[in-house]
Structure 1
Amino acid sequence: MEWKQIVSFYHVARLGSFTRAAGATFRTQSALTQQIKALEEELDCLLFERIGKRRLRLTSAGEKFLAFAESIINKYDCLMEELAELKGLQKGRLRIAAPFTTLYHLFPEVLREYTKQFPWVELTVLDRSQQNVIELVKNGDIDFGMALESVVPKELAKIRWKKVEPVLLTPAGHPLAGTKGVTIRQIAQYPLILPPKNGEYSSRMQLEDLFQELGINYRIIMESSNVELSSLYVEMGLGISFATIVRDLPGLKHRKLEFISLSHIFEPAYLAVVVRKDKILTSFKRAFLNVLLEDSR
């Protein structure tokens, strides 16, 4: 078994295509095909099912070999980074992904401090939805992801970072402003700005379940997947909205908004750092976690 065969298999499996994998590895499609064929002959099993002319699907053996290939490639990358550190070479890569609101409100100071300490690290930061963040971590495309603890599957590791509180967003001076223990019936009296109705936004589903359980009519005036966008239209007086926020963020203090706690209706949640359980962390990646967690303290 050769290293090039493992790398070729990994790219074909991840990209689902010999053509795309050939482009990613700068090899010809026929060379990749021969490498995979030789690998299958050595292992005495098929790694891919060919469905039609263009589609590929991993066999059960292929799925096991993909896990092996991912582990080997991850260890190789970490080894090269560790060897560079031993040689005193200042190079390495750190890849992070988080939703827009997290990046906008919580990351600037963290990244400013980290890049000051490690200016030689090749940093990549991606603005992605929570579900996309989870997939990127699963696939090994990023080192760390940020998501709510509640959406992190059991096969991934999570490190608690910041507490987030469920709140109702209203314009300043709104009739509900200052109301303690605001009720679902009171909320339903006003037009609502809610996240899209899909599995990624559990708060929308929880809220609608409560409305239906109590037999309350309500009106959705706008759907928005971005808290910044929602808060802009709340400020304009279009409707009221919901968010899970970290209290006392400087970026929120200048807004003409009221933040009414809904902790009596929804349980508080936590943002977490998400990482693969088999991830090997070099010193500069562990240092990023230290900077991040120190910021939360």
Structure 2
Amino acid sequence: MEWQQIIGFYHVANLRSFTKAAGATFRTQSALTQQIKALEEELDCPLFERIGKRKLLLTPQGERFLAFSQAVLAQYDGLLEELNELKGLQKGRLKLAAPFTTLYHLLSDTLADFIKQFPHVELSLFDRSQHNVIDLVKNGEIDFGIALESMVPQDLQKIRWKKVEPVLLIPQGHPLGRVKRVSMRRIAQYPLILPPKSSEYTGRRRLEELFQKYNLNYRMIMESSNVELSSLYVEKGLGISFATIVTDLPLFKSRKLEYIPLHHYFEPEYISVLIRKDKVFTSFKSGFLNILLGKSDIMKFSPPD
């Protein structure tokens, strides 16, 4: 088994495409195909199931080999970082994934400080949905993920970062802005901008349950998976919307928006940093967490046992 075979298989398995994987590994498709074929012959089992001309699925053996290849590549990256650390070099790679709104509003200052403090570390950022963030952390493809605490599975380590509160977004001057304690009955009287009906957006399910509980009909004028998009159309007067936000953000200072707390219907949430429990920490990865969490001592954060 050769190193390039493991890398080639990893990319084919993740991209579900020989063509895309060939581009990612800077090899020809025929060379990559021959690599995988030789690997399957050595292991004496098929790793992929080819359905038609376009669909590529992992076999059970392929799923197991993917887990192996992920672990090997993660250990290799960790080894390089540890060797650099032993040489006194703050050099390596830090990979972080978070939803768009978190990247846009919450991380820019942290990342700027990190780059200044660790200029030789290669930083890679990924704009992903919360479910995708969790999958990337689980698979060892990124170092840190950021998502709502309630979504984090038990097999991942989570560190609380920021409190977020459920609110109703309304345009400035909206009639609901004069109501001290807004009810679902009043909310249902206006066009609503809602998250999609999907297991990924648990807020929509909770809203549906409340409308059913109070036997209310409502009119949805728009589905939006992005709070930035929703807030834009709220500001334009298209409808009102729901969000979980860090309430001290400057989002509303420069916008014609107001928010109404909904803590009488929903519990506060927390944004957390997600980490694999077996994660090996170099000093610059601990340093990133210390900057993010507002620690003054760069080595104050220590990884979980």
Deviation at 1:274, TM superposition (A): 2.2
Q: Is the 8 A contact 1:16 1:57 kept in 2?
A: yes
Matching of residues 108-187 of structure 1 within 5 Å:
108-177=108-177, 179-187=179-187
Q: Is the 8 A contact 1:71 1:278 kept in 2?
A: no
Deviation at 1:220, TM superposition (A): 2.0
Counterparts of 1:68 and 1:224 in 2: how far apart (Å)? 38
Paired position in structure 2 for 1:69 = 69
Q: Could you tell me which runs of 5 or more consecutive residues in structure 1 were left unpaired when the two chains were aligned.
A: none
Amino acid at match of 1:293: L
- The superposition leaves residues 193-214 of structure 1 with CA deviations (integer Å, 9 ceiling, x where unpaired) of 2223333222222212221232
Amino acid at match of 2:201: Y
Deviation beyond 6 Å, 4+ runs, structure 1 = none
Paired position in structure 2 for 1:18 = 18
* 3-state SS, counterpart of residue 281 of structure 2: coil
Q: Does 1:207 align with 2:188?
A: no
Counterparts of 2:159 and 2:88 in 1: how far apart (Å)? 30
Change (3 A) 1:101 1:24: closer
Counterparts of 1:205 and 1:285 in 2: how far apart (Å)? 36
* 3-state SS, counterpart of residue 97 of structure 2: strand
**Identity rate of aligned residues, in percent?**
71
Paired position in structure 2 for 1:40 = 40
Counterparts of 1:114 and 1:39 in 2: how far apart (Å)? 41
Counterparts of 1:144 and 1:200 in 2: how far apart (Å)? 20
Root-mean-square deviation (CA, aligned residues, Å) is: 2.5
* 3-state SS, counterpart of residue 176 of structure 1: helix
Change (3 A) 1:112 1:178: farther
Q: Does 1:91 align with 2:91?
A: yes
Amino acid at match of 1:214: Y
Deviation at 1:34, TM superposition (A): 4.1
Change (3 A) 1:30 1:126: closer
Paired position in structure 2 for 1:229 = 229
Q: Is the 8 A contact 1:178 1:260 kept in 2?
A: no
Amino acid at match of 2:293: L
Amino acid at match of 1:173: G
Change (3 A) 1:211 1:276: same
- Report the number of matched residues: 295
Paired position in structure 1 for 2:3 = 3
Change (3 A) 1:81 1:261: same
Paired position in structure 1 for 2:219 = 219
Deviation at 1:11, TM superposition (A): 2.3
TM-score by length of 2: 0.85
Amino acid at match of 1:294: G
